[in-house]
Amino acid sequence: METSRETGKLNGSNKLTTQYCLPSERLLEGKLQFGDSNPGSQLEELPSWFNLELARKGQKFARERLYGVFYAHLIALFYLLAQRDARKILYYTQKSHTPELALKRYLATLLQVKLWYDSDISDDLSCPFFTSLSTVRKIHHGMGQRVQAQHPDFSKPVIEEPTEDDEDSSQPRGKLWEAFKADLESSDLAQDILPLEENPSGFYYFSQYDMTSTQWSFVALPIMYSQKLGMYDVTDEELEGFVHLWAIISHTLGLEPHYNICLVPDLESFKAHANWIYENQYLPGFFDVNYESEVMWCALAEGVSHIFPFLNVENLLLQTLEDFIVAPSQNFRRKIGWITVYRRLFQKAIVEPLLNFKWFQQYCNNYVRETIAKVTESRMGLNSSNDVEISQRAYYY
């Protein structure tokens, strides 16, 4: 089915695109492929399936529900840091393991993602939208090469557990994590992650499957749990637009069509891929959480508290347990402070019901935008609303 570049409409069909992605059970084959499908290259022309109208609908969806979408990205990052390979890659870059470093890294990421949602997407590959993506692709390629060259022993622990005399605000509290793990153990979640095939020519630390897994972390939760994220009035057409937008983003970043879970014929096909990854990789990954994950989680929560000041690691873990993993939380609740309990009650009883109303959605969206603008100006000296400036300068790697 061909796409009209001029109108952005799919000729004779409402489907997203033809089926490019492999069956879910074959996605792990991407672990044997380097993360950039064509290292060093940049997008020279738009793919035949590019649908301008649908992509703009995806951007509109993200802009109108920016608070919920960004919050979903934050929760998904918690999931990602539970994955062994992802957390090691991020730590090996030495840019995420303290609150200050985490703020810089995730603020820079947030600014690029915000640009992808705000900037006018067109078929002009020199526009800020594609300029940003091209730069991010170069960064990913360089990072993957650097990590593989500098850290050949991927099994080596990346963070040493401190002694009792060590003091660091980003270090986890033992009893809290024991309670979190106890609740996981009492759940009925599958604990075994699907095994990966051995690569006889060497292990690609930053692989195509890592790209797929990261793609999941940006797209899946707004589709799978839109209501739990306060997005109650979402239509399938909006979600299809969001999926197609991320098909374009991921393609431009070097994800091969076979591993691009957004290159599917319809929304149900995407949900099938997303659920398979969720059940076979992300949920079992929580049983592999160790000291490295705990440190990275604490750094993330404290770092992004400059943008979402009502959050802390206890809040994020409690919501992850109760709303997304849907596991028992009685052990964890015994170890958290009263402030976390109050914040959780406030979120469930007041914030989430109010998100049914457009005016409150807009208030939350504006709050996030204003906070990002202030933090960007104070930390990076940049204007978060200037797409050209952000596409050229707002990076941290």
Is there a domain that residue 212 lies in?
yes
Query: Looking at the DSSP assignment, which residues form a beta bridge with residue 207?
Result: 34
Q: At 142, list the tokens.
A: 């360089």
Question: Where does the pLDDT of residue 271 fall: very low under 50, low under 70, confident under 90, or very high at 90 and above?
Answer: very high
pLDDT at 355 over 60: yes
Please give the residue that has the higher pLDDT: either 17 or 51: 51
CA torsion 152-250-86-103 (nearest 10°) is 110
Could you give the CA distance from residue 292 to residue 159 in angstroms, rounded to a whole number? 6
pLDDT of residue 151: 65
Domain for residue 5, yes or no?
no
Of 84-98, 144-158, 315-329, which gets the smallest average pLDDT? 144-158
Give the range among 1-15, 43-57, 223-237, 352-366 with minimum mean pLDDT.
Answer: 1-15
Q: Identify the pLDDT of residue 159.
A: 63
- For residue 169, the model assigns a pLDDT of 46
Single-letter amino acid, residue 273:
H
Mean pLDDT of 143-170: 61
For residue 162, pLDDT beyond 80: no
Mean per-residue pLDDT for 172-181? 82
User: Cα(88)–Cα(55) distance, rounded to whole angstroms?
Assistant: 33
263-285 mean pLDDT: 93
Instruction: Please indicate, yes or no, if residue 293 is contained in any of the structural domains.
Output: yes
What's the token pair of residue 159?
């963070």
Domain that holds residue 39: 24-393
Query: Cβ distance 254 to 35 under 8 Å?
Result: yes
Cβ-defined contacts of 153-156 (< 8 Å, 24+): 154/85, 154/88, 154/203, 154/205
Lowest mean pLDDT among 26-35, 145-154, 187-196, 370-379: 145-154
Stretch (H or E) spanning 165: none
Look at 106 and 35; give whichever has higher pLDDT: 106
* Most confidently predicted of 67-81, 173-187, 199-213, 297-311: 67-81
The pLDDT value recorded for residue 393 is 83
The pLDDT mean for the chain works out to 84
Write out pLDDT tens, residues 14-48.
457 667 898 898 898 888 887 776 665 677 888 99
Specify if 16 maps to a domain.
no
Give me 179's structure tokens: 């309670």
Q: How many domains does the chain have?
A: 1
**Measured between alpha carbons, how far apart are the two ends of the chain, in Å?**
40
In a domain, 15, yes or no: no
**Domain contains 273:** yes
Q: Which residues contact 185 (CB under 8 A, 6 or more apart)?
A: none
Q: Tell me phi and psi for residue 91, to 5 degrees.
A: -70, -40
pTM comes to 0.88
pLDDT for 248: 96
| pLDDT recorded at residue 163 | 57
Instruction: Answer yes or no: is 9 within a domain.
Output: no
Instruction: State the pLDDT at residue 210.
Output: 87
**What angle, 0 to 180 degrees and rounded to 10, lies between the N-to-C axes of helices 236-252 and 128-150?**
60
**CB 275 within 8 Å of CB 224:** yes
- Taking 80 as the threshold, does the pLDDT of residue 249 lie above it? yes
- Stretch 163-188: mean pLDDT: 74
How far apart are the C-alpha atoms of 144 and 35, rounded to whole Å? 8
DSSP result, 226-295: TTTTT--S--HHHHHHHHHHHHHHHHHTT--GGG-TT-SSSHHHHHHHHHHHIIIIIHHHGGG--HHHHH
pLDDT value at position 160? Answer: 63
- Residue-wise pLDDT for 188-243, tens only, equals 887 776 665 555 455 556 788 889 999 999 999 999 999 889 898 899 999 999 99
**Which of these, 327, 326, 297, lies nearest to 314 by C-alpha position?**
297
Q: What angle do CA 116, 16, 77 make, to 5 degrees?
A: 45
**Domain assignment of residue 12, yes or no:** no
Does the pLDDT at position 3 exceed 70?
Answer: no
pLDDT at 235: 94
